[in-house]
Amino acid sequence: MRQIPTSRADAVECDRADPLAARHGLFNLPDGIAYLVGHSLGPPPATAGARLNAAMQDWQSDLVRSWNSAGWIDLSERTGGQIAALIGAEPGEVIVADSVSVNLFKLAAAALPLARRYVLFVEEDEFPTDQYIAAGLAGVSGAEVRRLPSGGTFDALNAGGVYLKSAVNYRSAEVADIAAHEREAAAHGALILWDLSHATGVLDLALKADGARLAAGCTYKYLNGGPGAPAFVYAAHDIAGLLRTPLPGWMGHAAPFAFDGGYTPREGAARFASGTPPILSLAALSGALEAMDGAPLSALQAKARALSAMAIARVQAMGLEVLSPVEDAKRGGHVSVRMAEGYPVVQALAARGVMADFRAPDTVRFGFSPLFLRYAAVWDALDALADILASKSWDQPQFHARAKVT
C-alpha cells in the first residue's frame, strides 16, 4: 500500500523518489508560487514557448508559404495524434479544433440520429457548458432534453439516447467508470459523449480499450496548452464514418482546395474540423505536449493521486469537509473542500503565494498536476492554509473583494 507523507520530511523523501522529478525543470514558475490550479490553467512549459517562437519565425520568413513549408496545414491532425497517445486512442481518431463547447455541440448533433432515441441526457451537476449545449442543441434540433440527478447517467442508459458525461466531475473530481458505462450503453443503443476536460493528462485513460466512441476535451488544464488553447474531438474509427457534422466547414472537407460547392467529409475524426486552424495556439499546444513525451500515464495518475491523498488527510485534520472521493481509484487530479468563507480564503492563500480556485457557492479546489508540483511544496501550501484558518487572517476587506474570475 502506498504511504501518504505525514511530515514535511516524508514529503521531501517522496520528491527524491519521484520518477517525474526531471519534468519540473521544464516549467519556469515564478519564485515562491505553489501553483495548485493546474486543473484550471496549466503553466507554460519551455517547450510551448519554443514551438510558438518557431511558428512566429516561420510566419515572418515564409509568410503564406508556411502552410506548406512548415506543415501548418496538417498541424491539427499531428497535434491530435499527440493527444491520442494520452487518451488511449488510435491515429486518425483525434483532431484538435474549435472549443470544447463547439465540439460538444458538433458531436452530440452528429450522434443523435444514431442513438435509439432522439433524446439528450445530462446530469444536473454537470459542468454548466455541457448543460447549456444540450439545451441549445435541443432548441434547434427538436430533441428532448432530460436532466438526471448527480451520478444518474448509468441507470438511465437503458433509455437509449445521447448522454453528455464528464469522465471527471469538475467540482468533486469523482471519476466515472468509462468501461462499465460503455458496456451498458452498447446494450441499450445509447451513445455517450465524454467530456475529458478534467481527465486528460492526469488519468491513465484507455478510451479504445474501454469501448468509448465519442469524446471532447480541453487542452489548457493538465495539458498546459495555454489560455484558450483549442480543444479536441475523439471519434472512434467504427463510428466516425457514420457521423455527419452540423458545422461542415471547409477544413473538414476531403479536398478543401478543390473549392467544390458540395461537401464531402474527410475520413475519421478530421471531418469535425471546421474553420481555419489557429496555428500559433496549435504550435504552443504541440510544444506543451512534448513536455509529456515518454511520461507513463500510470506515473502521472499515481503521483496526482498521492498528492491529493496527502492533501485530503491534512484538510480533514483541519476539520474541513472534503467533497472529493477519498478512495484513490474514484478520484481525479483535484480535491474540493467545502468552506463557507472559501472565496476570501483563496484570496488570502494567493497573498501567500498559494494559488487555488473557488467555485460558487462554497467550494475551494486544489489541483495536483503531476508534472511540475513537488510534494514538499504542496505540504508547505497546506501549512499556509492551516495558518490562515487558525488565525482567521482571511477575514480582511481586501480578501472579500470579488474579481470577475474566481
Enzyme catalytic residues:
127, 195, 220-221, 365
Contacts of 76 (CB under 8 A, 6+ apart): 95, 96, 97, 230, 251, 270, 273, 277, 282
Grid cell locating 144: 428532448
User: What is the rounded CA–CA span in Å between residue 35 and residue 275?
Assistant: 34
In the chain, what is the straight-line distance between the N-terminal and C-terminal CA atoms, in Å?
37
What φ, ψ does residue 174 adopt, rounded to 5°?
Answer: -70, 135
Other CB atoms within 10 A of residue 64 CB: 9
User: What is the rounded CA–CA span in Å between residue 266 and residue 54?
Assistant: 29
2-9, long-range: CB < 8 A, 24+ apart:
2/302, 2/306, 2/309, 4/306, 4/309, 4/310, 4/313, 5/310, 5/375, 5/379, 6/313, 8/376, 8/379, 8/380
Which residues, in sequence order, are bridge partners of residue 212?
none
Strands (DSSP E) contained in 236-341 are 321-322, 334-338
Sign of the CA dihedral running 92, 304, 46, 350:
positive
